Structure 1
Amino acid sequence: MTTTTTGVPRTPTTAASAAPGRTTRRPGTGTVLRWEIAKLVAQARSRYALLVCLIAPIAIVLVFNGQQQSPSDTLFGRQVHTSGYGAPLFILTFGSQWIFPILAALVGGDIFANEDQHGTWKTILTRSVTRSQIFWAKTLTATLFTVVSMAVLAASAIGSSLLFIGTQPLVGLGGQLIPSGTALPLVVACWATALAPQIGFTALAILLSVKTRNPAAGVAAPVAIGLVMQLVGTLGGIDLTRQFLLTTPLESWHGLLAEHPFHGPLEFGLAVSAAWTAVCLAGAYVALRRRDITGG
């Protein structure tokens, strides 16, 4: 222990306080992303949603496998008993109409509005993180949930169908017989085509979550918009409008199973999905940057 010129002992604490202060390192976007993923994993709703994605296809396959009748009025519904590749395509057709928008909006529509509901924006922003970091961390978290939920749903549908029904050849849309070795990668590719429009629906849900500041509206509105798009897509005389709807790319996998495969609708659907994603995320980002969060 040393003494100062005035005779006051200089303790280590005094010396440390006299030393130049160390700069605290600001958390990066990766750190914020880990926070958001940890919060998502802790939510029972997200865990239950993934559990449903795992169990529901198995239950559907078992029900159809135990029945004599098949949903013959639905695409590939006639083959749910004759090929293990028919049921996953039937589930894909049904899911694109009713289920996929719900999965996309379940987290995306709540992840921003939930902070408004609990008044935690000021708390988050006092952690030395920027609004941009928060925005991209939450956006990546919502997108990750969408991708994981789709992967679980696809794996469950394909795996359970092959296990309980078999690996019989699949009859394509042109009446051609597709052998098992070719049918499996084609079915996986068909499911993969749904990812781009699903991410587009997630971006739409994020935009509504930021703009409405209401979790219920953020989750329900994208689902309602998806149903309206489905209805508009069934109307005649509006083919040009239909091409730019976010639900239309969910049908682009049909070209992969034609007798002579074509990829035009798939490529155009990817562009449409990318445009929806970019516009919605840009709108959400600008709205969040301009928002006054001083009230909570």
Structure 2
Amino acid sequence: MTQTTAVRTGIGHGAHTGARPPGTMTVLRWEMTKLAAQARARYLLLGCLVVPPVIVAVFAGQQPPSDTIYGRHIHTSGYADALLVLAFAHQWLLPMLAALVAGDIFAGEDGHGTWKTILTRSAGRGQIFAAKTLTAVLFNLVALLVLAASTIAGSLLIVGTQPLPGLSGQLIPAGTALPLVAAAWATAIPPLLGFTALALLLSVLSRNPTVGVATPVVLGFAMQMLSTLGGLDLARRLLLTTGFEAWHGLFTEHRFTGPITQAGAVAAGWTLVCLLIGYLALRRRDITGG
């Protein structure tokens, strides 16, 4: 189903029959239906499910990357493999995951020329913005859940459930390691939502799906590079990508969660600012051209 088809059979139908204007939940269902019809979204979820066990299997047959966090332990504990994949994912995969749908969800309407059709029928701009934002957020959360579950399950099945060496040299029992590894993956949620909001903003402003999808990935990589520079501690704390590393404190002998709290606050700030600017830009947009 194309976006134009969904509009004609949904919003347009209600307008011509004189039915009561749709609520936000109705618009959300339309957006979810359009997203589910996209092959890209289905393939992305399939990739999140299938690829992680393949990566873990490749790791199992290679020399341990000892210069990477938990790299030296990937042959001795499946929990280490799950954390190594997480450490690799935050470099570019998670920003890309956040942007693939969010960066196109507004700009796609420009590409199909359907803004005028949507916004001059039953649904208002606020409803459209809320529905598209929720659709992108829900999809990205599901994708992260599938990616995390597949990585953890694949790691434990392929390598095993041996105790996990902690970052302080302590040995973490398997029963304790599993919830900690799951929590480590969960700490990726706030920065993932921040990148989702950034992609949504770029999708609204640029009206170009390529810009909306590619720019958050490039900015994420630039943030990674900036965080490696010395003397920029304050700036580093304000970067979205810093939140992807906040889980390290969960695996020390004396656990600390300050970086997780700080990363959550930073991501919330990025999310709110990006969504506010995106909403205001959409409210003021001239749609008479299509």
Structure 1 alignment gaps of length 5 or more:
1-21
Query: How many Å apart are 1:24 and its aligned residue?
Result: 2.8
1:66 and 2:79 matched: no
Aligned length, in residue pairs:
274
2:180 to 171, 179, 186: 186
2:142 to 121, 130, 148: 148
Q: Which residue of 2 aligns with 1:245?
A: 239
Q: Distance in 1 between matches of 2:65 and 2:121?
A: 54
What pairs with 1:270-281 in structure 2 (closer than 5 Å)? 270-281=264-275
1:127 and 2:83 matched: no
Query: How many Å apart are 1:125 and its aligned residue?
Result: 1.9
What pairs with 1:87-106 in structure 2 (closer than 5 Å)? 87-106=81-100
Query: How many Å apart are 1:73 and its aligned residue?
Result: 1.0
Query: How many Å apart are 1:294 and its aligned residue?
Result: 1.1
Q: Which residue of 2 aligns with 1:214?
A: 208
Q: Distance in 2 between matches of 1:107 and 1:212?
A: 15
What percentage of aligned pairs have identical amino acids? 65
Q: Distance in 1 between matches of 2:209 and 2:18?
A: 38
2:27 to 24, 32, 46: 32
Q: Which aligned segments of 4 or more residues in structure 1 are displaced greater than 6 angstroms? A: none
Q: Which residue of 1 aligns with 2:106?
A: 112
Q: Deviations over 1:100-127 (max 9, x none)?
A: 0000000010000000111101111243
Q: Which residue of 1 aligns with 2:38?
A: 43
Give the aligned residue type for 2:115. W
Give the aligned residue type for 1:55. V
Q: Which residue of 2 aligns with 1:168?
A: 162
Q: Distance in 1 between matches of 2:112 and 2:68?
A: 44
Q: Distance in 2 between matches of 1:197 and 1:231?
A: 17
Structure 2 alignment gaps of length 5 or more:
1-16
Query: How many Å apart are 1:25 and its aligned residue?
Result: 1.3
Q: Distance in 1 between matches of 2:232 and 2:60?
A: 39
1:266 and 2:276 matched: no
Query: How many Å apart are 1:266 and its aligned residue?
Result: 0.7
Give the aligned residue type for 2:32. I
Query: How many Å apart are 1:223 and its aligned residue?
Result: 0.6
Q: Which residue of 2 aligns with 1:18?
A: none
Tell me the C-alpha RMSD between the 2 structures.
1.0
Give the aligned residue type for 1:65. A
1:234 and 2:234 matched: no
Q: Which residue of 1 aligns with 2:49?
A: 54
1:110 counterpart SS class = helix
1:256 and 2:227 matched: no
TM-score, normalising length from structure 1?
Answer: 0.91
Q: Distance in 1 between matches of 2:49 and 2:59?
A: 17
Larger Rg: 1
Would you tell me which structure has more helix in proportion to its own residues?
A: 2
